[in-house]
Structure 1
Amino acid sequence: MIKKCLLVAFTLLFTTTILFAQKPTVWRGENNGIYPDTGLLKEWPANGPEILWTFEGLGEGHSSPVFANNQIYLSTLQGEDGFIVVLNQDGTLAWKVNYGKDFKDSYPGSRSSVVVAGDLMYMYTGYGELICMDAKNGDKKWTKNAFEDFDGENIRWGVTETVVVDGDVVFVTPGGAKNNVVALNRFTGELVWSSPGKGETSAYCTPLLLELPARKLLVTHTADHIIALDAKTGEMLWDFPHTNRWKVHPNTPLFYNGDLFCFSGYGKGGVKLDLSDDGSSVSKQWEKVELDSRMGGMVVLDGYIYGSGDKAREWRCVNWETGEEAYVSDAIGKGVTIFADGMLYCYSDRGELALVEATPEAFKVVSQTRVELGTAQHWAHPVINKGRLFVRHGDVLIAYKIQ
């Protein structure tokens, strides 16, 4: 009996370990910009948080690092070739691998972040190539081209989508008239299902995967609409019109208290959608043009949305239920926001890095510094991992101590 109990316990432990190890990395973390780290500094030193290490000479890129297998994975462009650079936790190079051509045109550099799921990793290039590789050495397992294999087409600034992995499938948006969104077997690249969606081009958006009681829902932006698909079958359940001047919608939708908030820049703003319990329909609750973040994401906390705009450049806090503003501030430039342990981490397109209290009372900047290292635009989204804040600025990755 004792041996049997030990065997059961070992089996459960082994199964749990395997499942945990296979959990895929997710763009902006598992909770869309809200990181679980605790015990973080509530105020930084006068010169900013201590820099633990930097890795310079990365190349060109706007992607963020991901953390898996006790290593750090980052995509970048060197010359005309894209590379996955893999670092140890101390910032030293473990290895790197060439994954092929990546976007060299307007605003050159890697766009998408790597997705690591157990012993496999996935990279989607600005030219529509989806590559599955061994996460231990970069050996290629399979590739698919969204344009040649699935009738998609490229967009003005190169496709920019960090693919979503769920179980045995990987989701990607070719943007074709027939194969608008597809699900592929992540081990072989074989087609699982294809949806014509609205037949529009992709729109720089990383989808949101929702697990509802009735179904899993995949929500994303295409050129002129927000669309929702049944993640198991590919059936399109609903669409909602949403476009802007350039058909650019790079922000993953927010999900909170059973509802959605979808938003994009160039003065379009955001719309809150009441999502039915089974995910099969939506209705508009309110719109706000000032919540028009172009590419910086937002977070929703305790009934309030926090983030900055594009044409409406200020930082705002808005009531989730009503759309009413709690505050407006121009203390720093517009940019990206993430959250951890009661604080907002705001990284502006001017290189300002600010620690801000997450309260609807006011935009209270507690500490501020400037990202001086690196190159090109300040567009990459910061990431928090194990008490460290990681900021990628072009050819450098900076690890700050925030614990």
Structure 2
Amino acid sequence: MKIALTLLITALAFSISAQVTQWRGPNRDGHFTETGLLKEWPEDGPELLMQIEKIGKGYSSVIPEGDMIYTTGMIDTLDYLTAINPDGSFKYQVSYGLSWKNSYPDTRCTPVIDGDRIYVQSGMGRVACINKETGEEIWAVEVDKNYEADYHVWGNSETPLIVDNMVICTPGGDKTSVVALDKMTGEQIWQSESVGGARGYASATVYELNGKSYILAVTAKEILALIPETGEVVWHYRHFDSSKWTWQENGMIWTNTPLVKGDEVFISMGYNYDAAMLKIGADGKSVSKKYTNTVLDNHHGGLVLADGYVYGSNWENNSKGNWACMDWETGDIKYETEWDSKGSVVMADGLLYCYNERGNVGIVKPTTEGFEVISQFKITEGAGPHWAHPFIANGKLYMRHGDVLMVYNIKA
């Protein structure tokens, strides 16, 4: 099944390109379009259809497209793109750049598929366009080097964004904040002004307001909105407060793609740093803080908005966090409860799919009454942190732990 994203395109608006798959689903908001899925699992979990090893170390999601699977991983010191055949064999495994050299170097960029091309970004900021069929490199640009990116502690974990004919990347630093490359050639289309802040870890997205589309991106200090045609920054907001974040001068550890609903944007980054709801002005060219929330400080597992409530986990320390539900409109917390540890969350067919950092995978009822786990099982294969976000397509649940991929049948 091919998943496509369609947004209204007007003479004044661009859109996310019609892609089969991308980071956290069609809209980068954790929602997947699959229906007809199991409402509960057997005691030992759903049927394991396939287990594939040696995909390289990493925390990136895997991307199914048709009967193929694509994923990234670190082998030695290089980031690799692997294409996996229906029988689990490798069609190709090709390098696209250097992994991050320092702390936590494992691959974090999820492949983005657009037609017959795949776009990836290495841990050192080399953006590559690869032929989906052959694995041949079509073009590559050293974005972080060319645009003088200012690295935060863990380098580059961004997944590129395709908007119309452009590849969007966020190097941060003093030279620029966001750049747009021609997706067919890699040539620069525009570079934005710098609003300040080192390279963040979050991937950009697109939102629509008053019939116009805007790119939404973050640096380690700022969140900013840009006009896709020109790269003009229409508003930016400095969430970084040096009096509250005293241990790093170049900004926060900001990993989560913001959530957007209408003219409101919710941002969250863990470490007991206040999450915030921002309100975009009526003209679309300004932004202000609506409220802050001290409970739902999500680390790097992402959040899901469903029926007016935000679901996800918070941060108590690097190995512990609780699960919570927040009212989008008011910021009121409906519940906060333990489930072994913090983790990632996505949604499909009316249920939350949660994957905590102790390896437990569960389907959870999205209710304000409490964290109701319907069924769960444990990932025991693979090594390293359980940080890869789940992916759902073709009636299957795709889970990745380190250099091992597991595919489960969740079709009813």
Aligned to 1:141: 138
Is 1:76 the counterpart of 2:84? The answer is: no
Kindly provide the amino acid, as one letter, of the partner of residue 300 in structure 2. M
Residues 77-101 of structure 1, C-alpha deviations (whole Å, 9 max, x = no match): 1112221111134433222222232
Which range moved further: 380-389 or 64-73? 64-73
Aligned to 1:48: 45
CA distance in 2, matches of 1:154, 1:287: 27
CA distance in 2, matches of 1:270, 1:278: 24
Q: TM-score, normalised by structure 2?
A: 0.89
SS at match of 1:148: helix
Equivalent position to 1:294, from 299, 302, 320 = 299
Equivalent position to 2:181, from 180, 184, 187 = 184
Shift of 1:358: 0.9
Aligned to 1:255: 260
Equivalent position to 1:338, from 324, 343, 346 = 346
Pairs within 5 Å for 1:122-201: 122-201=119-198
CA distance in 2, matches of 1:102, 1:23: 26
CA distance in 1, matches of 2:301, 2:236: 24
CA distance in 2, matches of 1:72, 1:130: 20
8 Å CA contact 1:128, 1:154 repeated in 2: no
Kindly provide the amino acid, as one letter, of the partner of residue 239 in structure 1. H
Aligned to 1:15: none
CA distance in 2, matches of 1:113, 1:189: 19
CA distance in 2, matches of 1:279, 1:381: 32
Aligned to 1:25: 21
Shift of 1:69: 5.1
- Percent identical residues: 38
8 Å CA contact 2:16, 2:206 repeated in 1: no
Aligned to 1:240: 237
Equivalent position to 1:355, from 360, 363, 373 = 363
8 Å CA contact 1:176, 1:196 repeated in 2: no
Kindly provide the amino acid, as one letter, of the partner of residue 359 in structure 1. T
SS at match of 2:144: coil
8 Å CA contact 2:55, 2:71 repeated in 1: no
Aligned to 2:401: 393
Residues 130-161 of structure 1, C-alpha deviations (whole Å, 9 max, x = no match): 11111111211211112332122333112110
Aligned to 1:4: none
Unmatched segments (≥5 aa) in structure 1? 1-18
CA distance in 1, matches of 2:368, 2:314: 17
Aligned to 2:10: none
Unmatched segments (≥5 aa) in structure 2? 1-14
CA RMSD of superposed structures (Å)? 1.9
Which range moved further: 324-333 or 365-374? 324-333
Aligned to 2:12: none
CA distance in 1, matches of 2:309, 2:329: 8
8 Å CA contact 1:308, 1:314 repeated in 2: yes
CA distance in 1, matches of 2:223, 2:95: 34
Kindly provide the amino acid, as one letter, of the partner of residue 110 in structure 2. S
CA distance in 2, matches of 1:221, 1:21: 20
CA distance in 1, matches of 2:326, 2:87: 39
CA distance in 1, matches of 2:146, 2:187: 11
Aligned to 1:7: none
Query: Structure 1 residues 278, 53: CA separation in 2 closer, same or farther (over 3 Å shift)?
Result: farther
CA distance in 2, matches of 1:138, 1:372: 31
Residues 100-132 of structure 1, C-alpha deviations (whole Å, 9 max, x = no match): 322243223111111111111111111111111
Kindly provide the amino acid, as one letter, of the partner of residue 147 in structure 1. D
Aligned to 2:384: 376
Kindly provide the amino acid, as one letter, of the partner of residue 272 in structure 2. G
- Which has the higher Rg, Structure 1 or Structure 2? 1
CA distance in 2, matches of 1:91, 1:253: 34
CA distance in 2, matches of 1:277, 1:231: 19
Is 1:231 the counterpart of 2:228? The answer is: yes
Equivalent position to 1:280, from 281, 285, 289 = 285
SS at match of 1:147: helix
Residues 136-189 of structure 1, C-alpha deviations (whole Å, 9 max, x = no match): 112112111123321223331121100100111010012131222111111111
